[in-house]
Amino acid sequence: MLESINDKYKIDKQKIWVPKLSSSLLCFSAVSSFAEDEEGPCLVMNFYQDTYPQAEDIIKEQVKLLYKRHKNTAFSWLRYIFHDCAVQSCDASLLLDSTRRSLSEKETDRSIGLRNFRYIETIKEAVERECPGVVSCADILLGGPYIPLKTGRRGGRRSRADVVEEYLPDHIETISGVLDRFYAMGIDTPGVVALLGAHSVGRTHCVKLVHRLYPEVDSALNPDHVPHMLHKCPDQIPDPKAVQYVRNDRGTPMVLDNNYYRNILDNKGLLIVDHQLAYDKRTRPYVMKMAKSQDYFFKEFSRAITLLSENNPLTATKGEIRKQCNLANRLH
Ligand code: HEM
Ligand SMILES: [Ca+2]
Ligand SMILES: [Ca+2]
């Protein structure tokens, strides 16, 4: 997955390799003895190697094909990791449709701009053709070659719009609030600073920005950046049907690099949270360091994505392997 974010983004595997803990078979045989264990021992490197060794390769191939056709799919997967893993667990709850009884996470105001859901199904279908019923949607969301991530997550059965607010940091929150929410996931200050570097790609819709432009322009914004933002978001109340947005990083919009840190130091951060990151005394030193060193940014980014991707997974007997990523399986 992350391989596709840009081709230059190649991390030295040696430096971030996490030693393999056990094979997936060991994991399965451990299920009975660990059934009561809260964590379960089953998030491992290449979880599917003993059941369907080709599974992760099929996913990689599909991700590459999609990336060739639609570059922005990579940005979506990256944002999905945040929106799924930060809300309780990396259990692909984000992918579930609403049911008659409850509104799903996808439908909340916080999910504005999440795109490319249908391509998840393209990947899932390719995997199901070869390895039916084995690979979970939660792993499809996360597998990746250059930041070697573990697999073995299973899908949750529920997705509830009302829990999103409880867990997902928001763009107008104080930096203390944002840090606390990430600390609760085991991610420290440099980790948070690195994760926000994801805003070096992609876009932000005007609905999330107009409060910084109207009725008065936020004086914290770089005056050189304002005309462009006003041009892209000409209305105080954006037309919900028009797709109006500003690119997160005008300099290198399609490349995940450390340009984000130079932007925010130059008061060109679009969201309040981006701006605060550059000015809070706890985060600023890391912003400066990442602005100077792409290497340092990449190292911290890999570490933090790994932590995020291991937030409270469902393993072993918990959760299920969905047949279709947008629907929980029917119980017979
Ligand atoms: C305090 C934490 C964060 C807040 C408040 C936040 C908020 C937002 C908002 C409001 C957007 C614009 C969405 C739109 O209008 O289309 C966005 C875009 C994006 N965010 Fe975040 N974000 C946060 C952290 C993260 C993290 C941790 C990641 C991934 C590691 C991430 C990845 C992305 C990506 C890739 C986009 C661009 C998506 C696209 O172009 O489709 N964000 N974020
Ligand atoms: Ca989730
Ligand atoms: Ca960039």
pLDDT tens-digit map of 257-280: 999 999 999 999 999 999 999 999
Mean pLDDT of 178-198: 97
* 175-307: CATH topology: Peroxidase; domain 2 (1.10.420)
Q: Which pair of tokens denotes residue 265? A: 């130091």
For residue 89, give the 3-state DSSP assignment.
coil
16 Cα: distance to centroid of ligand 1 (angstroms): 24
Query: CB-based contacts of 72: which residues, under 8 Å, 6+ apart?
Result: 115, 116, 202
Give the number of the ligand closest to the Cα of residue 71: 1
Which of 1, 78, 199, 249 has the most ligand 1 atoms within 8 A of CB, as the residue to mutate? 199
**Are the CB atoms for 94 and 84 separated by under 8 Å?**
yes
Q: What is the mean pLDDT of residues 163-171?
A: 94
For the ranges 21-25, 159-163, 296-300, 302-306, the lowest mean pLDDT is seen at 21-25
Q: Which atom of ligand 1 is nearest to the CA of 205?
A: 15
The overall longest dimension of the chain from CA atoms, in Å, is 62
User: Distance between CA atoms of 308 and 211, rounded to whole angstroms?
Assistant: 30
Q: Which residue has the higher pLDDT, 292 or 5?
A: 292
Distance from Cα 253 to the centre of ligand 3, integer Å: 5
For atom 34 of ligand 1, the residue with the nearest CA is: 79
Q: 82, 173, 195: which to mutate for ligand 1, most atoms within 8 A of CB?
A: 82
- Residue stretches of the annotated binding site for heme b: 199
Going by C-beta distance under 8 Å and a sequence separation of 6 or more, which residues neighbour residue 101? none
Give the separation between CA 211 and CA 233, rounded to whole angstroms: 11
Which of 75, 79, 276 gets mutated to test ligand 1 (max ligand atoms within 8 A of its CB)?
Answer: 79
What is residue 2's predicted lDDT score, i.e. its pLDDT? 52
Helices then strands, each counted (H, E), the chain: 14, 2
Cα(84) to ligand 1 centroid in Å equals 12
Selected residue with higher pLDDT from 257 and 13: 257
Query: Which pLDDT belongs to residue 297?
Result: 95
Q: Which of 83, 171, 211, 225 is catalytic?
A: 83
Residue 217 Rama label (left phi>0; alpha psi -120 to 50; beta):
beta
How far apart are the CA of 92 and the centre of ligand 2, in A? 5
Rounded CA separation 316/318 (Å): 6
pLDDT of residue 36: 41
- Single out the residue of 163, 126, 164, 167 nearest to residue 143, CA to CA: 126
Residue 50: the pLDDT is: 87
SS3 of residue 288 by DSSP: helix
**Closest approach atom of ligand 1 to CA 203:** 40
SS3 at position 235: coil
Tell how far CA 37 is from the center of its chain.
Answer: 27
- For the segment 52-89, what is each residue's pLDDT rounded down to a tens digit? 999 999 999 999 999 999 999 999 999 999 999 999 99
Own/partner pairs, 101-107, CB within 8 angstroms, 24+ separation = 102/158, 102/159, 102/160, 102/161, 103/160, 103/161, 103/162, 104/159, 104/160, 104/161, 105/159, 105/160, 105/161, 105/163, 105/164, 106/159, 107/161
Is 332 assigned a catalytic role?
no
> Which CATH number describes the domain made up of 2-166?
1.10.520.10
87-102 average pLDDT score:
95
Least confident of 134-138, 141-145, 151-155, 217-221: 141-145
Interacting residues of 258 by C-beta distance below 8 A, sequence separation 6+: 197, 200, 290, 291, 293, 294, 297
Is residue 315 scored above 80 in pLDDT?
Answer: yes
* Residue 291 Cα distances to 14, 83, 200, angstroms: 24, 25, 12
Where exactly are the structural domains of the chain? 2-166, 175-307
Q: Are 40 and 318 in contact (CB under 8 A)?
A: yes
pLDDT in tens, 99-139: 999 999 999 999 999 999 999 999 999 999 999 999 999 98
Q: Per the structure block, which two tokens stand in for 184?
A: 């609760």
Asked, colleague to colleague, whether 2-166 and 175-307 share their fold, the answer is: no
Instruction: Provide the pLDDT for residue 24.
Output: 35
Q: What is the pLDDT of residue 142?
A: 64
Residue nearest to atom 16 of ligand 1 (CA): 113
What is the phi/psi pair of residue 49, to 5°? Answer: -60, -30
Indicate which atom in ligand 1 lies nearest the CA of residue 114.
Answer: 41
Q: Please state the pTM of the whole predicted model.
A: 0.90
Q: Which residue is associated with the tokens 């790609």?
A: 201
